Amino acid sequence: MWVGCSEAAGQEWKDVVRILSSDVTRGLCESDVEARRRTVGYNQFSETKEDPLWKKYLGQFKEPLIVLLLVSAAVSVAMRQVDDAVVITIAIIIVATVAFVQELRTDKALEELKKQVPATCMCLREGAVREYQARELVPGDIVHLAIGDRVPSDVRLFQASQLCVDESSFTGETEPAEKSIDVVAGINGVNTGSNGDASGLPGSNTSSSLHNIAYMGTFVRTGRGKGVVINTGERSQFGKLFRLMQDEEAPRTPLQINMDKLAKKLSIFSFGFIGIVFLLGIYQGIPLHKIFNIAVSLAVAAIPEGLPIVVTMTLCLGIRRMAQRNALVKGLHTVETLGCVTTICSDKTGTLTKNEMTATWLCTSERDECTLNGVGYECTDGKLEYTTGYSQKAYDAVTKLLETGMVCNNAQVVGGQLMGQPTEGALLVAAWKHGIYNSHEKFIRLDEIPFSSETKMMAVKVENKQSGIIEWLVKGGVEVVLADCSHYQYGSSPLPLTQQAKSNILSSAQEKGRQGLRVVCLARGSTPKSLVYIGLVGIQDPPREEVHAALDLLYHMGVNVKMVTGDAMETACAVAKAVGMQLVPGGVFSGNHLDSVDDSQLSNILRDANVFYRVAPRHKLRIVKALQSRGEVVGMTGDGVNDVVALKRANIGIAMGKMGSAVSKEAADMILNDDNFATILAAIEEGKCIFHNISNFVQFQVSTSIVALSLIALSTLFGLPSPLNPMQILLINVIMDGPPALTLGMEPIDEDIARLPPRDTSKDIITPRLIRNCLISATVIIVGTLWVFRSEMLDGVVTARDTTMTFSCFVLFDMFNAMSCRSATKSILELGLLSNWYLFVALAATLGCLLGVVYVPFLQWVFQTEALHLNDWLYLVALASTVLFVSELRKMLDKLRAGGNIWNSFNKTNKGYMGLSRIGGSSGKSREAKLYGLEEV
């Protein structure tokens, strides 16, 4: 019932119509349509049934850390510690709800993909052309295509009049594809499989040459045509892309993997801790049930219920900050993943370039050269500059050249939107920049020879309304047009054009072609074969101005950038050089070459290759997967339908907000609202600093947990009175695991962290360095708190003053510890005392709460405290501040041990590690990175 694209392209259209039992003059009858639909179904895409909302919400509780917290809550209830159970449950609900809401907003890519298929189309049935629903089409239907239509299914054309179809969303090529009805040579109508197509998706090595096939979802730019439907629904090339997207699952982010590992380590720690306490309890002769109660309670307390909330809050804050920097992030964990990106695979058209063909250079027949600035199909900010010097003679020559391009033209630009060929639109805008707006009104068009891939030229016969002179205006390929030129224009008179002059013109055009320009030759004459050469116009899809600087910074930050485009090699290499990509010998490969290598060979190729041309969607997907198999964290940028599968598979899919299709934006994890490639830099900086802040919180949380567990465990196991009563312990959990800890996730971006290479995702959050830092801080706090407790209870009796002094000492120690945990490497003076004012507001609130507990009578009764004197506070502040001073000393010694100058730590202008580089996927590390001990972050 179906005919594959390659099979149909390799046969005469009459044979294809016969195979499908159709009739180009009458179409199918309704009974045939119904019979075929029962076999092939509707021309639409089937989707897997989505889970109900309640099931999606419960799915949030499968995360290992959430499961661990659920177990902790259950144990707390069993131990009758309801307060702990309530706190843990609230934390779980908050995290699960935020993640659930975020998920509901992200999975709409398939819906947007379906919108690329038109709702209606013009179809011939039972001898009459009427409008039908596109979903009702079946193989064998005869469809009519006109300018502005979207193709409703894969169609084998049997009539094409100046038909050009925009396939850029599939192929990435800016120029519309010319269509004809001729058989494609070299295919011979071989059926290549169940789908009947070996070529894969449009943009592959063969489908780009299937000039007699119009693909579903593409856009008719010019002309009109008729064809027979050969594939519908998921059998179409568009359907294959849809299925690929359905089959691909987005990988788990590095942060999610790190959280999974942390949950496992916490589980092991909890069981290990229970075992140690059991052994010590048995050694002390404590009853088994009491040992069990103590051990389980402490193990539950060791699990940081605040961690999921801090992570969620930090990621939400990162999303908000990135939105202010024109990057819209759709997934919470996506934000941090950006800081791990090691390779960015960038599309060319619309990402590195503007996707707006623009005339940038012209040369008249008298060798007057001009450059044109401004980009796109509006000329409000564009103008023409004479590089060889302005004169009236040069002005007249340029006027004649651009007038020729404007009249030999079928394009229109309305409100900045092009209707017609991009090359012709560029010529129109170039004429406007020169002040020519209505040249076509001076002429009457008498005849036209349309552009074709065979002739590579277009000609129009016109009559001048004033002089009555009739002449042909011609534009096309340089070699083709020059072959018909016998003279060149010099002033008002034509002069003979010698072979040497033609060679010079060709050399000039070839040189511009190597620079990435598409050079158009223009001429005029009495006949199409007797022409006078007028000049050349160079047209290009210009690179984005900010890309060059952004690439330099990415390279310095240790991020590789690879161009992956469906365009030709010459264009791809020219753009790569223009934007400053690091091209190496043998680093340019085609989609054809990728088809000839296996996965292991591809992995080796990717080590050095950074430009891939003539690639199809399946090639982009293979490249992303091969990079990921090498341990790379891949960011993929794109703006077209052909990018969506790779966008979904990549660790970070990045779409263009202005020029990107709705499909690519829904499939991506991040959208650049300003289409600015440099915005990726801001996103990467944010991602690195988010993980840095989470690590700082973990350091604070772990050190606090060690102190609390040690104080209670030591006093219980060795028969000492408890230094804190239950209500004081509860308050410490609330106020110290609360605002001060949360605000560590709000630390502003650290420029030094932002310039480091991508972090090693194989390393856990809890590194040996972090454990060392925690143990140093915890030891100081434990010794100081026990010193106060021991000093206060010299009489052997625990009084309200004793517990108040101990409680206040512990809280003050944690406040100073929170200040030191703002950075694992930098002094608080480097960071700035008030740069994170959220933290100091939280500390002020904590201090206010502490003073209330100590001085408010009702709270004194609840928490069993009593008022302290001023001398007591001075003593406690002096003692508690030692944890900050020890931390500052440790940071200073770390820098000295790394060979740094400690005085640089106080010089805030000593910023940046721009010497960092990444070659071949391995992170380079500068002396400064080691100096600050950040290679483990």
How far is 927 from 576, CA to CA, in rounded Å? 31
pLDDT at residue number 117: 59
> How many other C-beta atoms lie within 10 A of the C-beta of residue 446?
11
Please say if 15 is a catalytic residue.
no
Residue 878 and residue 808 share a domain: yes
d(CA 849, CA 105): 39
- Judge if 421 and 282 occupy the same domain: no
Last residue of a domain, one of 630, 655, 675: 675
Strand order in the sheet with 343-346: 327-329, 670-672, 652-656, 634-638, 343-346, 560-564, 611-613, 588-590
**Predicted confidence (pLDDT) per residue in 711-734, tens digit:** 777 776 666 677 776 677 767 766
Q: Is residue 346, in this structure, part of any structural domain at all?
A: yes
Q: Is residue 58 part of a domain?
A: no
Cα torsion 710, 716, 720, 722: sign: positive
Closest among 150, 128, 189, 169 to 43, alpha carbons compared = 150
Give per-residue burial for 467-492: e unless 16+ CB within 10 Å, then b. eeeebbbbbbbbeebbebbebbbeee
Q: Which of 813, 693, 703 is nearest to 754 (CA)?
A: 693
Q: Report the distance separating Cα 356 and Cα 408, nearest Å.
A: 20
Q: What is the CATH number of the domain that holds 558?
A: 3.40.50.1000
Q: What sign does the dihedral 31-33-34-38 (CA atoms) show?
A: positive
Q: Which amino acid is at 429?
A: V
Residue 324 confidence (pLDDT): 81
Domain membership of residue 147 as a residue range: 5-47+117-185+210-247
pLDDT confidence of residue 809: 93
Q: Report how far apart, in Å, the C-alpha atoms of 412 and of each of 378, 380, 424, 655, 925 are.
A: 12, 17, 9, 29, 54
The pLDDT mean for the chain works out to 79
pLDDT in tens, 11-62: 999 999 999 999 999 999 999 999 999 888 888 876 555 667 777 777 767 7
My answer on whether 283 and 304 are in the same domain is: yes
* pTM of full prediction above 0.85: no
Band of pLDDT at residue 382, cut at 50, 70 and 90:
low
Beta bridge partners of 229: 155
Higher-pLDDT residue of 329 and 350 is 329
Segment 609-623, tens digit of pLDDT:
989 988 877 888 899
CB of 388 within 8 A of CB of 398? Answer: no
Please give the span between the terminal C-alpha atoms of the chain, in angstroms, as a whole number: 59
Asked if residue 888 and residue 750 are part of one domain, the reply reads yes
What confidence tens digit (pLDDT) does each residue in 429-451 have? 999 888 888 888 899 999 998 88
Establish if 56 belongs to a structural domain: no
Instruction: Tell me: do 314 and 332 sit in the same domain.
Output: no
User: Are 241 and 289 within one domain?
Assistant: no
Indicate the number of domains in the chain: 4
Q: What percent of the chain has pLDDT over 70?
A: 79
Residues 708 and 816 in one domain: yes
| Nearest to 684, CA basis, from 373, 207, 282, 341 | 341
* Assigned domain for 369 exists: yes
**Domain-located, residue 911:** no
Beta strands in 667-812 (DSSP E): 670-672
226 and 336 together in one domain: no
Flag the least confident range among 134-143, 262-271, 467-476: 262-271
How many CA atoms are closer than 13 Å to the CA of 838, on its beta-carbon side? 14
Q: Is the pLDDT of residue 629 over 70?
A: yes
pLDDT digits (tens, 9 = 90+) for 829-859: 888 877 888 888 888 888 999 999 999 999 8
User: Which listed residue (149, 347, 752, 894) is catalytic?
Assistant: 347
Same domain, 547 and 535: no
Residues 6+ apart with CB under 8 A from 198: 4, 6, 192, 206
**Predicted confidence band at 211 (pLDDT cuts at 50, 70, 90)?**
confident
Query: For residues 584 and 600, what is the distance between their CA atoms, to the nearest angstrom?
Result: 21
Q: Are residues 373 and 467 in the same domain?
A: yes
In a domain? residue 311:
yes
The CA–CA distances, whole Å, from 889 to 230, 415, 773, 776, 886 equal: 76, 65, 12, 11, 5
- Of 488, 512, 540, which one is at a domain's C-terminal end? 540
CA 313, CA 742: separation in Å to the nearest integer? 8
Pairing of strands 343-346, 634-638: parallel
